[in-house]
Structure 1
């Protein structure tokens, strides 16, 4: 991987520091004062416009898919579930994707390939580890936390579900990264119908499906933790 350009790092550092000052600054008497932290290459990456735009684009794609599913009837929803399972079978994948597009108006193949391409472009020059990326995301989330003591259950539930969304975005990015890492050295003859390529597409789709199931469970947990107040 390419080394970070020093000039870019300095510009990014200045940008990140300004973000930290604005988002993490607290009153001098606030007992939850922000402690100083070392800024890493991963921190700069998470704060970059390219990464922020990537997360926004994934969020838009998640909403498009949800909106398409929300319009389905009970019968269509059952067919949708069967077709999603069909996507994970190499023999039925092509037909399942075609039928899903007809059923929902959402093109699973095109959108997932598009997101994989975006992730590949954004991550192509990074030179930090997955652990460093995870820590940078945790620090970024901490800076966004607003501590209050007057939130209603409805507000807490909404915040909880927003956290579920953020985690899902990160998981989806990881799925696409894993896919990109495993296809980058495949010969040109594998694209787009080679057995190895199709195998990794199936792995990517299974990974995304698992992330979406976790999101559903996460949001159900939010509903249970913060029920409507009487």
Structure 2
């Protein structure tokens, strides 16, 4: 159990460095390979598909939950986009610089089959189950959520350059440090929510779809608003 936990953490550290520093251009491939490696570690450790939230009995309820989650996220963004005060948060200059093909690829392929697939499998599937096997479900939720928060340290280093974030945090080292701390806390808390959804639904699909839809739809909406503001 200890060996499996350490193995999972080592894989995640290496993947994080590959995706954010060493081999960014191979992001999707790295995510897919890492997902397979993590599942192999879990199965080698004796975990069942049910413990991972991937057994066949969980597919139907998981898909129903996923559809409901996707609809809720789409509704949330539709409401937020209709509120003038909320639109500033969508003004991300990095998104505006991308073409529509890049946005379409990132929203429909890179995020769902790269980011969401890997992170759901890693944190709400394998790490949660490995820790829960030895120390119980609450410990699994805590460990996987803390790990999920620290997983976002490298990606968060440039988040304060987002136009919306810069309006609040400013620029410079202090802004970067604040951005990292807030991101770790925020994603750690989100990790708890994802784990709870995983437990309530009994399936890995709903938290995966929730993550993919929040990021994917959010990116598309940010791009649309940022481009509109840029062209005014």
Shorter-chain TM-score bucket reads 0.3 to 0.5
Larger radius of gyration: 1
TM-score normalised by the chain length of structure 1: 0.32
Higher helix fraction (1 or 2): 2
- More RCO (CA 8 Å, sep 6+): 2
